[in-house]
């Protein structure tokens, strides 16, 4: 009974983390992709330092967002697993 309660509490914690991480990661992923797409297109002009800076910042946002989404997927998997263990002991 105690283990089932602990599993349910941890499932709730992991589910909350997964939802928050997914929101944060999706926002960073979208922003990074837009930064890279906007500044990486070739318009025939030489690449400026500021443009390279925005591309690298977009890449950092994209990588950060990807890691947050991956963490959300792992936490979601753990929440589902612990939830099933709490429901079906």
Q: Give, for all 89 residues of the chain, the pLDDT tens digit.
A: 899 999 999 999 999 999 999 999 999 999 999 988 888 777 777 778 888 888 899 999 999 999 999 999 999 999 999 999 999 98
pLDDT of res. 68: 97
Cβ 82 vs Cβ 7: under 8 Å: yes
In whole angstroms, what is the distance from residue 36 CA to residue 84 CA?
41
Per-residue pLDDT at 43: 74
- 54 contacts 35 by C-beta, under 8 angstroms: yes
Q: Check residue 40 and give its pLDDT.
A: 79
């Amino acid at each position: 009974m105690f283990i089932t309660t602990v599993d349910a509490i941890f499932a709730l914690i992991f589910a909350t983390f997964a939802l928050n991480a997914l929101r944060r990661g999706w926002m960073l992923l979208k922003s990074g992709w837009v930064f890279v797409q906007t500044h990486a297109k070739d318009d025939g002009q030489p690449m400026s330092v500021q443009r390279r800076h925005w591309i690298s910042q977009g890449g950092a946002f994209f990588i950060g967002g990807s890691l947050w989404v991956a963490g959300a997927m792992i936490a979601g998997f753990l929440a589902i697993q612990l939830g099933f263990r709490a429901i079906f002991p």
